Amino acid sequence: MSGGSYDYACFRVSQFADDIEVHGRNEPELEADCQVYNKAERRWMTPEESKPVIAKVKDLRAWFVEHLRLVSTAMHDIEWVDSGDYGPGDEVEALERVRAHLELGE
């Protein structure tokens, strides 16, 4: 049958990860004087205050894309097990990779 138990949701998650990467490649580098809005304080931060936030964005998005890819693989394996294409337990390795990624923060 090749999956189908969950309407192939894993592929939508994988596509979202791809889209984030493409957006990042097509997004011009943030300017040195770029400012971030601080929602908690309801004000625009100065360019100097904004720099650490902006510096963190690229790394966090890269981590998130990696996480989405791991989640997508686990979703795929679960769907294939539940559809009878893989055997029970074939999803464990992918699930453990997701858990390790969260626990280690890597």
28 Rama class: left (phi>0) / alpha (psi -120 to 50) / beta = beta
Separation CA 19–CA 106 (nearest Å): 21
Of 47 and 72, the structure prediction assigns the larger pLDDT to 72
Query: What local confidence, expressed as pLDDT, does residue 20 receive?
Result: 95
pLDDT tens digits, residue range 77-100? 999 999 999 999 999 999 999 999
Per-residue pLDDT, 31: 63
Beta strands 37-38 and 43-44 are antiparallel
- Indicate whether 33 pLDDT > 80: no
Mean pLDDT, residues 64-76 taken together: 98
State residue 85's pLDDT score.
93
**Angle at CA of residue 20, ends 52 and 28, nearest 5°:** 55
Q: Give the predicted TM-score (pTM) of the model.
A: 0.82
